[in-house]
Amino acid sequence: MAKPPLNRLDPRSRKVKILATIGPASRSPEMLRKLFKAGADAFRVNMSHGEHSDHEASIKAIRALEKEFARPVAILADLQGPKLRVGKFKNGEAVIRHSGHFTLDRNPEPGDETRVQLPHPELFGILEKGQRLLINDGKIRLRVIRADEDEILCSAEVGGVISDRKGVNVPDAEVPIPALTEKDRKDLAFAVQYGVDWIGLSFVQRPEDIAEARKLMGGYGALCAKIEKPMAVRKLDEIIELSDGIMVARGDLGVELEPQEVPPLQKRIVNAARTAGKPVIVATQMLESMIESPTPTRAEVSDVANAVYDGADAVMLSAETAAGDWPEEAVTIMDRIASQVERDEGYKERVRFLDTPPDATTSDALAHACMTIADTVAISAITVFTASGSTARRVARERPDTPMLVLTPSMGTARRVALLWGAHAVATKDIGSFEEMIAKGKRMALRHGFGKAGSKLIALAGVPFGTPGATNLLHVVTLTGNELTRHSG
């Protein structure tokens, strides 16, 4: 019995990607399908919530979408990371008096309005006078008066109600705890077992955190370092160098830094990642009001637009799609905002305002040449042949105005590339000769809607074929329109 025909979506007209978080509001196969059709290019599995059985079902539903629409989809498993929390209170909560004193200690007895246990011995002895402790996402702000091995005496700069197990942020010190907890290790093993494409590493503080996660990944998948700690910002270049991608996690950054510090820091991180040729995601509170409202605020629309103008590879929806009342509408509106920005006459100039000079390599020189040729000659697509995805990243770094068709024999590479700016990835059989490369590039361009008779393509590849990192060939070809009738593969 013949298989039913695949549902093919036209290539996305926008180049920035949309990463949607899965949760109770979007976990069903029906809703995931709606989000994908509305514009989601990749999905985030938040390991902080839900059971492995829930995540397994979501992953299988996404892979079914891949088959149905013949389009690789990236899945990012976001690890929870170490969470610092206070202990419990006698009545479940207490009120810390504004400007009063409050003590965090090692006493396991339930707390009150004067003290509570801090069940993290590694914090005692490292804090110094004047440093801050932020509780419950910064709603309560404490300043250290004195700290020793048993007690941390603080002054409450901002008091208020504190309840059991509220989170603690320590913005002014490098906390001597690993980036991976025992839960994270189990979650990472699960993600690798079920073929997740990206691992999001939370609360990165130092380059060593990246090395530990990579060892556990065993060479599988790609690692996205989440920048959400001031300590990570101080070692940003090292962390970017060791990572495959970067996420600007503005939630915790906004807690540990002053609000006005976050926008310029976001631009700095985006620029640093782009310069290094690593995909960068802007995340958290992008359309926050759409958790409850079918429309965003004007400020949120501007926030998303600015991230697109800055040249971010992807913008992310969190609770909007995970737990909100309007998940499909949130993706639809984000798609509309990004598409409108990219149609702006000034977008091309703005997105290239950052100077990303090519490295002194043949691969980088050819990637830069692709953009120059596409700016000079009417090119319908830059067709990139790649095994690892590195050539596609080099081309994307240039932010060409022309769409990029990425052809790879690796489904893993095709899925990871789904988070890369301007890339439309297709997993296809490997090539073995120059003639085969040209023929396949033409067929794939016609088949996936990247040209018609008379259109010109740029083909970028490496010889010998199948050798990672050997990009050394650029060729411009013209479509006749007859390529599909000559070959069935």
Instruction: Give me the residues paired with residue 78 across strands.
Output: 46, 200
Query: How many DSSP H helices and E strands does the chain contain?
Result: 17, 21
Q: Which of 33, 85, 106, 336 is catalytic?
A: 85
Q: Answer whether the bond into residue 110 is a cis peptide, omega within 30°.
A: no
Rounded to whole angstroms, what are the CA distances from 44 to 48, 168, 202, 487? Answer: 11, 25, 13, 38
The whole-angstrom separation of Cα 400 and Cα 395 is: 7
Residue 104 to residues 90, 144, 436, 459, Cα–Cα distance (Å): 15, 10, 68, 62
In angstroms, rounded to a whole number, what is the distance separating the alpha carbons of residues 370 and 356? Answer: 14
- Cα 155 to Cα 362: distance, rounded to the nearest angstrom: 59
Residue 45: strand, helix, or coil: strand
- 402 in active site: no
Dist CA 327 CA 292 (whole Å): 10
Residues in the chain: 489
Q: Is 21 helix (H, G, I), strand (E, B) or coil?
A: strand
The residue among 157, 135, 142 whose CA lies nearest residue 85 is 135
Catalytic residue among 12, 15, 71, 226: 226
- 364: Cβ contacts below 8 Å, ≥ 6 apart: 358, 394
Task: Examine the residue annotation and report whether 132 is marked as an active-site residue of this protein.
Answer: no
Cα within 13 Å of Cα(227), Cβ side: 28
Cα separation, 196 vs 60, whole angstroms = 11
From 12, 17, 44, 235, active-site residue: 44
Does residue 284 have an active-site annotation?
A: yes
Beta strands in 318-437 (DSSP E): 381-385, 404-408, 423-427
**152, 133 contact by CB (below 8 A):** yes
Check 14, 17, 132, 284 and give the catalytic one.
284
226 flagged as catalytic: yes
Asked if residue 460 lies in contact with residue 367, where contact means CB atoms within 8 angstroms, the answer is yes
Angle between the N-to-C axes of helices 298-309 and 327-343, in degrees from 0 to 180, rounded to the nearest 10: 50
Residues involved in catalysis:
44, 85, 226, 284
